[in-house]
């Protein structure tokens, strides 16, 4: 199926933005420090669903897969908008990791479904005893609507919850609609290894680079064409979004898509810093700057920063720091480490930076450093670092002290091949 057959409605020329209410201006001041975004206000799928809802699904029974960031540009949540809509009838809610309201703070904490006291609708958990909707969950709906803010990294689990929903809908002859949203770290750059399916897991089910450079709608299009061709899928695209935009250029308010993703800076470093989850090094969970700071009780901050500066990594600086996590790794213990400061986000390479941090710590503190052992994200045999990286090559190269630039050569080659053969085919913007 060609792209134009999947998108509902043709892309229309940009129009002047609607007059913004005082409340929206206040949101902009708070979100951007009083600096007006340089780009027009982007309209996401949730802003446009009323006018672009597929005709064949008019009056359908709909379920929503949502989380706290499933809001329009005026901060109205998708649940309320769909309840008011006359395009369809909202009958159920689904929630991914961390719940529909971000109820579970920590990583890998399961939650169970309930009946929403405000709407009376059933809420089905897709991060508990089930990660894929079962037939009973889909029995009384015609279409599953997906409105999730991704952060541009393959290991962020929301895109894999989406795929399991797509798979279930195809098997049950149900339709799916994806409300597209920006890739917050821009849609131009891809970086890191492409997943070897031998290492498929809930932090990467299908081949994608770690920084994938796609929107959630584009990934849905890729997954449908390559793996679920029987699925009746519609993507409601954005207006005024361009591939070179970072989230703070969209005019949209940043809402935490998960509890440890508080800012755009967090999302920018995440493609590399999430690798630390596969080690005994704190990735900053339990602090106010998760993924931007890292360390352990045995690390000397000045020494590790000196080693990292020797790599001359582009667009980034490291500052020695101490911190004490309140939960997760080394909770209550004083850790030495560093904070990652992005100086030029267009030049910054988050995955290379994350690997450099692992190499520096491994080579200086070999006797203290350890790879985390399974289980991890429902994988009980393979090493967590290997399923995060998408192969065992990153770990083996670090253990053999392979030069960083030589490591980058092979994952860059994988990225470029994937871009030529797959990614470009499925871009909508």
Q: How many CA atoms lie within 13 A of 85 on its CB side?
A: 26
Which residue is associated with the tokens 């009973």?
Answer: 136
Q: 214, 229, 257: which is the final residue of a domain?
A: 257
Local confidence band at 99 (pLDDT 50, 70, 90 cut-offs): confident
Local confidence band at 108 (pLDDT 50, 70, 90 cut-offs): low
Burial of 346 (0-12, 13-18, 19+ CB in 10 A): exposed
Domain-embedded: residue 383: yes
Domain-embedded: residue 422: no
Beta bridge partners of 145: 64, 177
Mean pLDDT of 145-159: 98
- Please answer whether residues 284 and 291 qualify as being in contact, where contact means their C-beta atoms are separated by less than 8 angstroms: yes
CATH number at residue 50: 3.40.50.12170
Does 111 lie in the same domain as 29? yes
Domain count, the chain: 2
Question: 3-state DSSP: the chain helix, strand, coil percent, rounded to 5?
Answer: 35, 15, 50
CATH number at residue 306: 3.90.1150.140
The edge-to-edge listing of strands for the beta sheet with 335-342 is 293-296, 335-342, 316-323
Per-residue model confidence as pLDDT tens digits over 329-360: 999 999 999 999 999 999 999 999 999 999 99
Range of the domain at 33: 3-257
Residue 78 CB partners (closer than 8 Å, separation 6+): 46, 64, 66, 70, 71, 72, 145, 147, 179
Per-residue model confidence as pLDDT tens digits over 28-66: 434 433 344 444 699 999 999 999 999 999 999 999 999
Domain-embedded: residue 158: yes
Mean pLDDT of 248-271: 96
Does 245 lie in the same domain as 301? no
**How, if at all, do strands 232-236 and 175-179 pair?**
parallel
Does 314 lie in the same domain as 253? no
Local confidence band at 11 (pLDDT 50, 70, 90 cut-offs): very low
Domain-embedded: residue 409: no
Domain-embedded: residue 20: yes
Does 278 lie in the same domain as 237? no
Domain-embedded: residue 403: no
């Amino acid at each position: 199926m060609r792209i134009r057959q999947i998108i509902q409605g043709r892309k229309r020329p940009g129009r002047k933005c609607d007059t913004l209410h005082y409340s929206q201006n206040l949101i902009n001041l708070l979100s951007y420090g009083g600096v007006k975004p340089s780009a027009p206000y982007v309209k996401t799928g949730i802003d446009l669903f009323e006018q672009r809802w597929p005709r064949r699904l008019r009056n359908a029974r709909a379920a929503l897969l949502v989380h706290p960031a499933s809001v329009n540009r005026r901060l109205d949540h998708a649940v309320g908008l769909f309840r008011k809509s006359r395009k369809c009838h909202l009958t159920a809610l689904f929630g991914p990791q961390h719940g529909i309201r971000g109820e579970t703070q920590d990583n890998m904490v399961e939650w169970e479904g309930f009946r929403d006291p405000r709407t009376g609708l059933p809420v089905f958990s897709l991060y508990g005893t089930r990660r894929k909707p079962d037939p009973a969950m889909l029995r009384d709906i015609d279409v599953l609507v997906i409105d999730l803010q991704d952060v541009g990294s393959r290991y962020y689990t929301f895109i894999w919850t989406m795929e399991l929903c797509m798979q279930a809908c195809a098997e049950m002859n149900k339709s799916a609609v994806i409300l597209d949203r920006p890739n917050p770290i821009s849609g131009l750059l891809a970086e890191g290894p492409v997943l070897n399916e031998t290492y498929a897991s809930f932090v990467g089910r299908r081949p994608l680079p770690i920084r994938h450079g796609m929107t959630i709608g584009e990934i849905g299009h890729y997954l449908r064409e390559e793996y679920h061709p029987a699925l009746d899928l519609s993507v409601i695209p954005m207006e005024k979004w361009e591939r070179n935009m970072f989230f703070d250029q969209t005019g949209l308010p940043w809402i935490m898509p998960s509890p440890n993703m508080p800012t755009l800076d967090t999302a920018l470093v995440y493609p590399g810093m999430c690798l630390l989850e596969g080690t005994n090094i704190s990735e900053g969970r339990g602090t106010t700057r998760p993924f931007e700071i890292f360390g352990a009780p045995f690390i000397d901050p000045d020494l590790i920063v000196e080693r990292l500066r020797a790599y001359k990594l582009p667009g980034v600086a490291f500052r020695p720091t101490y911190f004490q996590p309140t939960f997760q790794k080394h909770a209550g213990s004083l850790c030495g480490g560093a904070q990652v400061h992005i100086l030029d986000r267009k030049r910054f390479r988050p995955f290379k930076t994350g690997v450099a941090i692992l190499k520096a710590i491994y080579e200086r503190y070999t006797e203290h450093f350890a790879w985390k052992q399974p289980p991890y994200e429902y994988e009980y045999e393979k090493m967590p670092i290997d399923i995060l990286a998408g192969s065992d090559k990153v770990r083996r190269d670090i253990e053999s002290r392979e030069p960083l630039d030589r490591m980058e050569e092979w994952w860059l080659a994988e990225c470029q091949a994937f871009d030529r053969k797959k990614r470009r085919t499925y871009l909508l913007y």
